[in-house]
Amino acid sequence: PPPRPSQRMATLEDLHEDVLAEILCHVPGKDLILNCRLVCRLWRELVDRTHIWKEKCIRERAFKRNFHFTTPNDWMKLYFIPLAVNLIKNPSAEEDFRFWSIDESGGDDWKVETLPGGHGQNHPNKILNKYFVTSYQLCRKSQIIDLSTHGLWSSLLDFIQPKIVVSDWYAARHDCGCVYALEVELLSKDRTAICSYKSEEITIPQWSDAKWNQITHVFENYGPGVRYVHFSHEGRDTQFWAGWYGVRVTNSSVTVEL
C-alpha cells in the first residue's frame, strides 16, 4: 500500500555510514572522485578514507587483504594505477609492425625475425619468440601512448605523478657490430615535450657475445601536464652489409609504478 502522508520515505541519509560505505565500494572509482565526494561532507570523508579503496583493490584488482601501505591514500593510488601493465602495444613483433610508426627505414628496411636468429642468442624471457631487426642504414620506429586510455586521468597524472618506467632490450649478431639508441618523451595534451630521456649511442663491436641487454629509465617528479608517452628506438649495423645485420630489439615496455 502507498505510504501514509505522515510517513517519510527512507533515503540514503538514513543509512548508517558503514552501510553507505559498503554501497560506495561498488561505485566506479572515477565517479567516487568526481561526483560522490561532492555530495556532502560525510560522503567526502567516506571516499577519502582507506576502507573503500582497500575494498575496491581487493575486489577488483585481486590484491590480498594483508597487503599493506604506509598511508591511506596509497590504496587510492594503487586502485587507479595500472601497475605492471605494459602500455606498449605489440612490444615483441608478434603482430609484425602493427601499432608502430616506421620513422626511418634505411638500408633494406626493418624486418621481423624469430629468436634466436642467425648468430644470435635466445632472450632471457623464454616466452618471447620474435624480435625487430635493423639494416645497414638508420632504422627508427616509434609509438605514442595515450595515458588516458589506460585509466590515467589528468588529475592523477598532475598531482600524484606516478613513476613512468621505460625499458627496452637490444642485442647484436655475433658476426656483425651495431649501434642502438633509445629516446622517450613525456608529452602534453598538444604533444609538446615536458620531459625527455635520450640514451647515448650504444655501439656493440663485431664478434660480441650477442647477448641481450636491457636499458631502463625512470621518470619521476616530471610536473603537471603529461598526457602522452612517445617511445622511440633506432639502430643500424656497423659493417654496411646488405640485409638485416643491425641491432635487434624486442620486449619494449612502458609501465607505471607507485
Concatenated DSSP letters of the chain: -PPPTT-----GGGS-HHHHHHHHTTS-HHHHHHTGGGT-HHHHHHHHSHHHHHHHHHHHS---TT---SSTHHHHHHHHS-BT---SSSTTSTTTTTT-EEEEE-TT--EEEETT-TT----SSTT--EEEE--SS-EEEEEEEEGGGGT--HHIIIII--EEEEEEEEE--TTS-EEEEEEEEEE-TTS-EEEEEEPPPEEE-TT-----EEEEEEE-S--TT--EEEEEEEEEESS--SSS-S-EEEEEEEEEE-
Which of 79, 97, 114 terminates a domain? The answer is 79
| Cα Dmax for the chain | 93
In-domain check, residue 58: yes
Work out whether strand 163-171 and strand 213-219 pair parallel, antiparallel, or are unpaired.
antiparallel
We report the CATH number of the domain holding residue 174 as 2.60.120.260
pLDDT for the residue 1: 56
pLDDT for the residue 12: 60
Q: For residue 177, what is its C-alpha cell?
A: 657490430
How many domains does the structure of the chain reveal? 2
How large is the average pLDDT for residues 235-254?
Answer: 98
The tens digit of pLDDT for each residue in 31-48 reads 998 898 888 888 899 888
The tens digit of pLDDT for each residue in 107-127 reads 999 999 999 999 999 999 999
Domain co-membership, 203 together with 250: yes
Domain co-membership, 187 together with 129: yes
Q: Give the least confident one: 2-16, 28-42, 89-103, 225-239.
A: 2-16
How large is the average pLDDT for residues 177-197?
Answer: 98
Q: Count CB neighbours of 125 within 10 A.
A: 12
We report the CATH number of the domain holding residue 62 as 1.20.1280.50
Task: Note the pTM of the prediction, 2 decimals.
Answer: 0.78
pLDDT band at 20; cut points 50, 70, 90: confident
pLDDT for the residue 73: 64
Domain co-membership, 50 together with 111: no
| Cα separation, 234 vs 98, whole angstroms | 17
More confident residue, 118 or 71: 118
pLDDT for the residue 70: 57
What region does 81 belong to: left with phi over 0, alpha with psi -120 to 50, or beta? beta
Range of the structural domain that residue 115 is part of:
85-257
The tens digit of pLDDT for each residue in 162-179 reads 899 999 999 999 999 999
Which of 29, 53, 79 terminates a domain? The answer is 79
| Cα separation, 127 vs 144, whole angstroms | 25
Domain co-membership, 71 together with 91: no
In-domain check, residue 2: no
More confident residue, 73 or 175: 175
pLDDT band at 65; cut points 50, 70, 90: low
More confident residue, 43 or 3: 43
pLDDT for the residue 10: 54
Please choose, from the candidates 113, 94, 101, the residue with its C-alpha nearest in 3D space to the C-alpha of residue 245: 113
How many residues can be counted in the chain? 258
Domain co-membership, 32 together with 90: no
Domain co-membership, 156 together with 215: yes
Please choose, from the candidates 191, 197, 192, 190, the residue with its C-alpha nearest in 3D space to the C-alpha of residue 220: 197
Which of 54, 79, 104 terminates a domain? The answer is 79
How large is the average pLDDT for residues 55-77?
Answer: 72
